[in-house]
Every structure is written in C-alpha cells, then in structure tokens.
Amino acid sequence: MPLPPESQSRLGVITTRKLGNAVARSRARRLLRESFRRHQLELARPVDLVLVARPSIAGKSFIQVEHEFLATARKAGLLKTGT
C-alpha cells in the first residue's frame, strides 16, 4: 500500500549478531541511517524502507556505504530521474 504524498519516507534498519559485536552493529546502523538521511529528498516518492545490514558492511567507510545505498536505490527505481 503506497504512502500518501504528503507523508515522509521512513527507515528501518536490521542488524544481526552475525555482523559482529554491539559496537559494529551500532556503527552499521549509524552509517545506513546517515546515508538515508542525506538522500531522502532525492527519493521519487515517500517510501517505507527496511535495510538489512550484511556482514560485508564491517570495515567500510561512510563513502563506500553511501555509494552502495545510492546504487541500490537507483537500481530499485527509488530515486528521482536525473539523480
């Protein structure tokens, strides 16, 4: 069910113990939330988005995570055209 146009996008982040200890899981959540926050206005429409952090995120920089987030959003057709 699509969100009404006047609503805002929402984000949920899932991290499991496979990702590492509490520090690693928290860092992964922070990186994903910040990527979403910086680019939520570039989304074509309001969405409810659930991101699942995979173990491959461990050790990645913010720039790498942000690049992967944008590539995935673009592939899913979530970004405005021209972005």
Residue 78 above 70 pLDDT?
yes
Compute the chain's Rg from CA coordinates: 13
Confidence of residue 81 (pLDDT cuts 50, 70, 90): confident
Tell me how far apart the alpha carbons of residues 41 and 59 are, in angstroms, rounded to a whole number. 27
Beta strands 10-14; 48-52: pairing state? parallel
Helix (H, G, I), strand (E, B) or coil at 50: strand
| pLDDT recorded at residue 37 | 96
Tell me how far apart the alpha carbons of residues 43 and 61 are, in angstroms, rounded to a whole number. 23
- At 1-13, the pLDDT tens digits run 666 666 899 999 9
| pLDDT recorded at residue 4 | 65
Please report the domains of the chain, with CATH numbers, ordered by start residue.
10-74 (3.30.230.10)
- At 16-59, the pLDDT tens digits run 999 999 999 999 999 999 999 999 999 999 999 999 999 999 99
Tokens for 53, please give them.
């952090």
